[in-house]
Amino acid sequence: MKRIKIILFILIFSSTLFAKGEISFKRQKEKVLQEQQEEAQKVNTTVKTSTRKTTSNKEKAMRRALLDVAFSKLGTPYIYGANGNGAFDCSSYVQYVYKKSLNMDLPRVSYQQAQAGKKATVRQLKAGDLVVFDTLGKNRISHVGIYIGDNQFVHASSGSKKVIISELEGYYAQKFEYGVKILWKNLKN
């Protein structure tokens, strides 16, 4: 009699598990189908946005190339009016970096470079954008550098007599006029 009870218990228990398993199987199948649909939607979204990713990668590559050239000239002497043959002034440094890294021709003097792109606030700046200053207090642009991120910029400094990295605070924050986005023109195509 005990054996019959045990066999009945096993049969009832097994049939219950089978029934639950079948329900779980149906739920699992529905879940897998839903995941496949979601994955298909992600693929479609990725295809739709792939051109934006390419542009973003192009922009990153351009900015990286620009900074590589800019950093390679750290320590180069500053001489007012120099054009890059072993020394720079602020605007010839910016002109050299853009020409060497991106083959872009910028004007030679800082106030013209300040007009060569779209004005931007400090918060809008990205690495590679220009930062322009009125260091003479004459209501005109008299100094230019290249923003490198983290509130810093690289420039040919008359005070330090060489190409250096400076913080955009204190003296430079007071003399800062605006940023200039040069690269945005080349990213629209």
Which residues are identified as catalytic?
A: 90, 143, 155
Distances (CA, A) of 91 to 6, 60, 125, 129: 93, 23, 19, 14
- Three-state DSSP at 96 gives helix
Q: Are the CB atoms for 179 and 130 separated by under 8 Å?
A: yes
- Three-state DSSP at 150 gives coil
Q: How far apart are CA 111 and CA 142, in angstroms?
A: 6
> Phi/psi of residue 164, each to 5°?
-140, 170
DSSP codes joined into one string, 30-74: HHHHHHHHHHHHHHHHHHHHHHHHHHHHHHHHHHHHHHHHHHHTT
Q: Are the CB atoms for 141 and 177 separated by under 8 Å?
A: yes
- Please say whether the dihedral angle defined by the alpha carbons of residues 114, 119, 120 and 125, taken in this order, is positive or negative: negative
